[in-house]
Amino acid sequence: MSNVIVKVPDLGGSENVEIIEISVAVGDRVEVEQDLIVLETDKATMEVPSSHAGVVTELLVKVGDTVSEGSDILALTSEVSDEPVADAAVDAPAEPAAVVEEPEVAVEAPEAVVEEPAAVPATNTATPSASETIELTVPDLGGATDVDIIELSVEPGASVEAEDSLLVLETDKASMDVPAPYAGTLVEFKVAVGDKVNEGDVYAVLTTSNSATTPVTAPVSESAPEPVPMAEKPASAPTPSKAEPAAAAQGVETKALESKAVVEGKDVYAGPSSRRLARQLGVDLTKVKGSGARNRITKDDIRAYVKGLVQQAESGQVAVMSGSGIPAVPEIDFSQFGEIDLRPMSKIKKLTAANMSRAWLNVPHVTQFDEADMSDLDAFRNDMKAEAERRGMKLTPMPFLIKAAALALRVEPSFNVSLHADGEHIVQKHYVHIGMAVDTPNGLMVPVIRDADQKGIWQLAEESNELAAKARAGKLKPAEMQGGCFTISSLGAMGGTGFTPIVNTPEVAIMGVSKAQIKPIWNGKEFEPRNMLPLAVSYDHRAINGADCGRFFTTLVAMISDIRRLVL
């Protein structure tokens, strides 16, 4: 074991380069070649890998610091047996346990991204004076071989300007674009995405335009053009002159992970390793929100994105499961607006959320509204209150509504159905079980009163009281929440003039009850104060037609308005 200070390697001449990301923390165990920090110049981002395996004991830099070759990055306790990064051996001391290491940036930087005309020297080394059709060959890739093509940047037939990117290549460590050496028309590609290429491979055919004059990079000599590093050459960069050819090319040998210009052109900003991870996981980077500097997408962002998708899928969110293409709600960092804290959702709330999303997305909802005159019901209920107390129960409108709904389902059986999963059948039920939504500290629960059509008001009052109490105490058994045919959701005690409840699938209809109010109702001779109960029935329009609902609702309202009908 020895202590090692990992230092910034040769940055190809760049100095005071900003650290935009620190990929490890104190206590982390890092492997050889594992990324430690990400640097960014105004043209390129670079990931600096570790020269040793070991445990990080101290970070000597922070995000926003600027560093140059030789700056300390971090201290780690290294295992002697670890070798420094193979690629970096050039500048590394012979003894890997040395306190100071200077690995090269583990970047397989292309020496060139500009067409290097090995295959067609006559056309590529000389400036075309008139329109010519030339084969474009893969330039010097800095020693990298079998490099993946990850993108063809233009369509055959497209006009391109000199320096327009034609291809994007990617090695383990670097992505690089290959720009057109001349303006012209791209006749065809000789390669496809996924192909592997090497220096000198023909990848496209280009017909140069008459106006094509100077190739993207000025040649070092007449016969050997010197390419320019992609990462150091934004589209607007001046073309190096003959007198200064090496200046633009020098940095290539030691750096250039990724051109910001390339990434921005794809509307994402991510390093090669992030892009590689995204490809491995099949993640569309345009959908990932970057948390790094200037919204750079980190590997953690990709992992968080995938984790989010998996969690949504596991919680049954249909949008993800069915690939319905519903755009995700963008994630927002609410702490930017003020103080927040994160509280875990209860299991019931998560389940309700999944059930509601499923119902909302699957069921074509229609909601109809009506009012029932519950003046007589209320008068009767008040008359019975004393007896209810003697029976040890509370008599609210709820048991009357349950009874009325159960009988209306009997009268209008088109409401007492479910859609069969095969999409070919309707399941007609010959029993009537009514669900009752109960607001509990843990979330919404729906206990079910069985055979409600066959029970009297006292029994329904007793059962609804008991089930509501059990729900609030978290003591409902699964069987007590199953088998419902129709649900009643009452917000009557709380207020509101109406709401549109969501069908509690696999049921096909639900009734929302709002707060009764005394209203002036015309009785044919005069306005009379009546206690009017606002009701809403939402139904699944796949199973129920508006006319069915009209009949069902009229029956239901008639039963609530004249409770004598409940005993018929």
In the complex, which residues of this chain contact ligand CAO (CB under 6 A)? 396-398, 436-439, 444, 468, 489-493, 501, 513, 515-516, 533
What six digits make up the tokens of 434?
């009514």
Distance, in Å, from the CA atom of 10 to the CA atom of 227, rounded to the nearest integer, reads 20
Report, in Å, the least distance between residue 380 CB and ligand CAO. Answer: 13
Report, in Å, the least distance between residue 437 CB and ligand CAO. Answer: 4
In the annotation, is 541 catalytic? Answer: yes
Collapse the DSSP code of 44 into the 3-class scheme (helix H, G, I; strand E, B; otherwise coil) and give the result.
strand
In eight-state DSSP terms, residue 250 is H
Nearer to ligand CAO, 348 or 444 (CB): 444
Collapse the DSSP code of 433 into the 3-class scheme (helix H, G, I; strand E, B; otherwise coil) and give the result.
coil
Report, in Å, the least distance between residue 328 CB and ligand CAO. Answer: 23
Report, in Å, the least distance between residue 445 CB and ligand CAO. Answer: 9
Of 568, 555, 513, 533, the C-alpha closest to 415 is 555
Report, in Å, the least distance between residue 452 CB and ligand CAO. Answer: 14
Catalytic entry in 52, 420, 430, 541: 541
Count the residues in the chain: 568
Distance, in Å, from the CA atom of 394 to the CA atom of 385, rounded to the nearest integer, reads 8
Contact 29, 54 (CB under 8 A): yes
Distance, in Å, from the CA atom of 97 to the CA atom of 111, rounded to the nearest integer, reads 31
Of 432, 158, 115, 107, the C-alpha closest to 124 is 115
Nearer to ligand CAO, 87 or 463 (CB): 463
Contact 292, 21 (CB under 8 A): yes
Place of tokens 């590529």: 124
Strands annotated E in 33-155 = 35-40, 44-49, 54-59, 66-67, 72-78, 100-101, 133-137, 147-152
Which residue of this chain has its Cβ atom nearest to ligand CAO in the complex? 492
Nearer to ligand CAO, 281 or 473 (CB): 473
Distance, in Å, from the CA atom of 51 to the CA atom of 86, rounded to the nearest integer, reads 9
Nearer to ligand CAO, 24 or 436 (CB): 436
Nearer to ligand CAO, 240 or 501 (CB): 501
Report, in Å, the least distance between residue 468 CB and ligand CAO. Answer: 4
Distance, in Å, from the CA atom of 244 to the CA atom of 309, rounded to the nearest integer, reads 51
Distance, in Å, from the CA atom of 260 to the CA atom of 262, rounded to the nearest integer, reads 5
Contact 73, 6 (CB under 8 A): yes
In eight-state DSSP terms, residue 191 is -
Nearer to ligand CAO, 60 or 491 (CB): 491
Nearer to ligand CAO, 72 or 466 (CB): 466
Report, in Å, the least distance between residue 502 CB and ligand CAO. Answer: 7
Amino acid at 267: D
Of 46, 55, 32, 151, the C-alpha closest to 105 is 46
User: Which ranges of 164-298 does DSSP label H, i.e. alpha helix?
Assistant: 245-250, 260-265, 272-281
Nearer to ligand CAO, 266 or 470 (CB): 470
Report, in Å, the least distance between residue 398 CB and ligand CAO. Answer: 3
C-alpha 158: how far from chain center: 34
Distance, in Å, from the CA atom of 52 to the CA atom of 92, rounded to the nearest integer, reads 11
Positions marked catalytic: 541
